[in-house]
Amino acid sequence: MLPNGTLIGECLFDKNPANAVAIGYVIGHVRIKNKTFYKVLIFAGPPYRRHTLTLFDVQDSVQIPHELSPHAIAFIDTRLQEHTSRYKPGDRVRFPHSTTLYDDKDRVVDVPKTLYVRTVTRLDPKCIATYFRIQTMDADGHDRFEGAEKHFEPAH
């Protein structure tokens, strides 16, 4: 396991740091079922992924051989302080018991009892207050549901 503060890239196709689809800063790690993930603050990659807290599968991660400047570390610390969501990557969540979800053909969707937070994105739209968008995954690491933080509750 790489220590907190390490710069890593998410490499889905090979282990070449130059081919990383996103680059982030390790802030911890979590084990879900039989897989280990790094908790990461992304700060380089596609615009929709920047400044999000997310999980990188250890198997898809590679260390980026680069030294962070004090300015970059200060930027990362500021972004971490702005992530005031009640959920962090790796947290167990569920939908409230009264929630029924339907697919685009009006069929009831099977929802796992426990989901895991994969990504927390802070959104700052101009027309409404800041809120957090949560992307979840199942215990096998497959993406499942996405929605506003208020649509989920902690799973104990």
Tens digits of residue pLDDT in 71-115: 888 888 888 888 889 999 999 999 887 677 787 788 888 888 889
Say how many CA atoms lie within 13 Å of 95 toward its Cβ: 18
Find, among 57, 61, 67, the residue nearest to 30 by Cα. 57
Q: Report how far residue 38's alpha carbon sits from residue 29's, in angstroms, rounded to the nearest whole number.
A: 4
Burial class (CB in 10 A: 0-12, 13-18, 19+), 113: exposed
Tokens 């990188």 belong to 56
Tens digits of residue pLDDT in 40-57: 999 887 777 777 999 999
Domain extent listing, the chain: 7-154
Burial class (CB in 10 A: 0-12, 13-18, 19+), 133: middle
Average pLDDT over residues 60-81: 86
Q: pTM for this one? A: 0.84
